[in-house]
Structure 1
């Protein structure tokens, strides 16, 4: 049964869009992959940029210009998600995905011991350490950019920048909400059309 589950879980993981490593939204693939993760058969690989950050978070080589700093911060933002200066409210509400993942994990007897023996727990620790190092690196780079007089994103966001970003996000959310009913209407009209 485990061998049959592996390809399905791998396929589910491949179809999911990339999301920041700090995004804890639970997907169907996450729920299905819980037993495989616990056995350390499948696992999220640590992004190379975070491995570099763990090795040398305060490296300022090649960070002479604001553009270089902004590019490096942008790469970390793509992996880590928004920095604290512009992150919106994070919801820790209970949702179906989290409940399902919790329920699936409870079916595994001696889960903690299995995770220790398989190496899954150690990998999780290393992954979390790499995330912290990436955040430290991003903070260091923003401090470096601020000292050089760079503009956001090579420095922390000021109130004006935060307001602009929040406004842009609201506009994007409104546009997405408008597009969803349009897509449903198009789908309904296609279904209504019958071949003759």
Structure 2
């Protein structure tokens, strides 16, 4: 009985320490994002704009451009640039960052708190949808979404080209395995 009690007590103490650390991390996350959430109305008045990464603007201009993409390494580098701007692709498994359930819960709580702050800050604006249209914020938001969609389309196209050329990931989907050792 004594042999079981000590490890269980130690495990419980370590779990409590981790939960406290996770809660502190969530509070820091809310503190860091508070200013951006509270100043969200500036986006509605088009006084603050979301920056569109250059790689997404290039994808929007020509999503099927193959100039200088004649090797697996250059295709992979372009996919990596798109991943940096867009985040991981859907074919990639979720990252195993070793986070505990309490850390993920703290992240979710922090996101919910920031969304509530952002919603409260923008809800007080009467005729918000009209202000967004008249200020140009709605048009810019559509431009951002179009650039993101073009970037996703280009990444899918490049991975398809990588498969056709028998490239290894990231120049092809993560599940693809080249059939020949030498790659063009």
SS at match of 1:146: helix
| Structure 1 length-normalised TM | 0.63
Within-5 A mapping of 1:113-192: 113-158=130-175
Aligned partner (choices 58, 61, 65) of residue 71 of structure 2: 65
Task: Indicate conservation of the 8 Å contact 2:86/2:151, yes or no.
Answer: yes
TM-score normalised to structure 2 length: 0.67
How far did residue 61 of structure 1 move?
1.3
Residue by residue, what CA displacement relative to the aligned partner does 1:18-40 show, whole Å, maximum 9, x if unpaired? Answer: xxxxxxxx922331221111100
Moved over 3 A (4+): 91-94
Match of 2:57 among 47, 51, 56: 51
| Counterparts of residues 82-97 of structure 1 (less than 5 Å) | 82-86=88-92, 88=94, 95-97=112-114
Q: Call closer, same or farther: CA 1:159–1:137 in 2, change over 3 Å.
A: closer
Match of 2:84 in 1: 78
Kindly report the root-mean-square deviation, in angstroms, between the aligned alpha carbons of the 2 structures.
Answer: 2.3
Q: What secondary structure sits across from 1:95 in the alignment?
A: helix
More RCO (CA 8 Å, sep 6+): 2
Structure with greater Cα Rg: 2
User: Structure 2: how far apart are the matches of 1:92 and 1:84?
Assistant: 21
